[in-house]
Structure 1
Amino acid sequence: MSADKPEQSKEEIAAAIAKEKLEQDSLPYKWSQVLEELTVIVPVPPGTRSRDLQVQITRSKLFVALKSSLSAPIINDDFYKDVKVDDSTWTLDDNKEITLTITKSNKMEWWPCVVKSAPKIDVSRIQPENSKLSDLDGETRSMVEKMMFDQQQKQLKKPTSDEMKKEEILKKFQAQHPELDFSKAKFQ
């Protein structure tokens, strides 16, 4: 547990999970997430066609409604955080549910909710699936490899990759300027 949260009893945790489930079940949609994206399933009346729907995904807002319905939109709210509009899509499946695939702008954080007005889940309980480095895109993979290398170096009390880079730059500078005395210099 984190330092700012007191230890909870098993009963308190079970009660919190039950409350969270009740709140999530009351939403007009079901949702799930991985670090990179959200999947939102919105049930609609059987026989609904895509032309009967109005779905708008903007950087900060989600709007889902039945065009013919006199009732309020199904979802009309700001996203919890910004999304990548061009990478987000929606489909109508079996004329009975809308599947929205929403790509997060920040692909390195868990969301406690899809839209700001929705009840939040406790993201500290999320247990992500183990993934292999080969599953990651190039930029994320190299960042993770660097973090793993630096962690290993720290455990061995050796310089991290950034510290090694600084040492290399200093050595090159000293080689180019032998007239300068660095013997009493302190570097951080």
Structure 2
Amino acid sequence: MADFAEKIGEIECKTPWGCWYQTLEEVVAEVTLEPGTKAKEIKCKLSGKKLTTVVRGKEILNGTVPGNVVTDDFLWTVEDNKLLRIVITKSDRSGRDCWKSLLDGQYPADPQVYDNMEKKLTMERVQRENPGLNFADAEISGNYHGGGPQWDT
């Protein structure tokens, strides 16, 4: 039987350059690159809460992340010379820090995507807090914003 994380997958927020998604502990941005792009052609930096990414001289990301982060745990990789994966570690890993956008005022999740992100993080947090229980078939119903979840199993 698939565990909860395998069943739910990632809730992606599509962007002009790729997508971003989040887990309890991390926010991940995946930037689609021109095939053949090398890591030396990329400048990617997280300084304090400011994220900047430049690929082949073209600015892709430039702004402030909306949550508190661990700057020492910042990582970016180039995969198959066609995908840049940026991993930002959240300071608050409790699952109560669901980002509404990748950067302040930029790349927001639409209301349905954000609602699904909140539900996913809540279910992950509850499973983490209750490791002996199987939440693989659990669902949160209703609109999650502004209230606690209603559980359907």
- Return the TM-score normalized by structure 1: 0.52
Q: Return the match for 2:50 from 61, 65, 71.
A: 61
CA distance in 2 between counterparts of 1:44 and 1:119 reads: 18
2:78 matches 1:78:
no
- Say which structure is richer in helix: 1
SS at the partner of 2:40?
A: helix
Q: CA deviation at 1:106?
A: 2.3
| Percent of aligned positions that are identical | 24
Contact (CA 8 Å) 2:15, 2:107: kept in 1 or not?
A: no
- Say which structure is richer in strand: 2
Measured on the aligned residues, the alpha-carbon RMSD in Å equals: 2.2
CA distance in 2 between counterparts of 1:40 and 1:114 reads: 8
Counterparts in 2 of 1:63 and 1:74: CA distance versus 1, 3 Å? same
Query: Which aligned segments of 4 or more residues in structure 1 are displaced greater than 4 angstroms?
Result: none
User: 1:95-106 to 2 correspondence within 5 Å?
Assistant: 95-106=81-92
User: 1:36-185 to 2 correspondence within 5 Å?
Assistant: 36-66=25-55, 68-69=56-57, 71=58, 73-107=59-93, 108-121=96-109, 122=111, 123-125=114-116, 126-128=118-120, 129-130=123-124, 131-133=127-129
Structure 2 counterpart of 1:113, one-letter code: S
- Which has more radius of gyration? 1
Q: Give structure 2 stretches of 5+ with no counterpart.
A: 1-11, 132-153
Contact (CA 8 Å) 1:58, 1:83: kept in 2 or not?
A: no
- Return the TM-score normalized by structure 2: 0.63
Higher relative contact order (CA 8 A, sep 6+): 2
Q: CA deviation at 1:134?
A: 6.8
CA distance in 2 between counterparts of 1:94 and 1:117 reads: 31
Q: Deviation digits for residues 74-115 of structure 1, max 9, x if unmatched?
A: 111111123111112111100111111111122231001110
CA distance in 2 between counterparts of 1:52 and 1:85 reads: 22
| Count of matched residue positions in the alignment of Structure 1 and Structure 2 | 110
Counterparts in 2 of 1:113 and 1:55: CA distance versus 1, 3 Å? same
CA distance in 2 between counterparts of 1:82 and 1:29 reads: 23
Structure 2 counterpart of 1:110, one-letter code: C
